[in-house]
Amino acid sequence: MFLTKECDYAIRVVRALAGMEKKSAKMICEREYIPAPFAYKILNKLEHAGIVCSYRGTLGGYQLAKKLDCITLFDVINAVDENLFINECLQPGHVCPHNTNGSRCSVHQDLERIQNGLIISLKEKTLDRFF
């Protein structure tokens, strides 16, 4: 769950669009210091998740599809990185040598509790609080 650079950039893309006006990818990149190849990939994922809308043509660009109070940090992070795990042992199918008799090791249990709390917090934080 450590936020990847892509997650960081996605949050910055949303910040650049926070005023609800349409902006070009170039404007977003310049404002938020995001490399263009990353920006296009992220914008595509955010569009697919229903967070941004794209407009083609000479007057095209991108704008938020929802108001900031309807978008959570979890929405943005999950749009670009669906595998939200703070440690590899939390991934489905991971075999931990410290598991015994079908029970998870105590470290795994604590990390899972922490991760669940973090996800709940990310789902509670709408972006209108930040931008």
Domain extents in the chain:
5-129
* Structure-model confidence comparison of residues 105 and 112, the more confident one: 112
Taking all residues of the chain, what is their mean pLDDT, rounded to a whole number?
87
| 128, 20 contact by CB (below 8 A) | no
pLDDT at 105 over 80: no
Alpha-carbon span 128 to 41, nearest angstrom:
24
Q: Which of 36, 32, 18, 97 is nearest to 44 (CA)?
A: 36
pLDDT at 125 over 60: yes
Q: Which of 44, 29, 55, 129 is nearest to 12 (CA)?
A: 29
* Structure-model confidence comparison of residues 4 and 102, the more confident one: 4
The length of the chain, given as a count of residues: 131
Residue 61: enclosing H or E segment and its boundaries? strand 61-64
- Average pLDDT for 61-71: 95
| 92, 31 contact by CB (below 8 A) | no
Please report where in the chains the tokens 């669906």 appear, as a residue. Answer: 82
* Alpha helices by DSSP H, the chain: 5-16, 25-32, 36-48, 73-80, 106-124
- Average pLDDT for 82-111: 72
Domain spanning 5-129, CATH architecture: Orthogonal Bundle (1.10)
- Average pLDDT for 79-106: 73
- DSSP letter at 87 equals S
With pLDDT > 90 as the criterion, what percentage of the chain qualifies? 58
The reported pTM is: 0.82
102 exposure class (CB count in 10 Å sphere: 0-12, 13-18, 19+): exposed
* Structure-model confidence comparison of residues 129 and 71, the more confident one: 71
pLDDT at 108 over 70: yes
Please report where in the chains the tokens 């404002």 appear, as a residue. Answer: 31
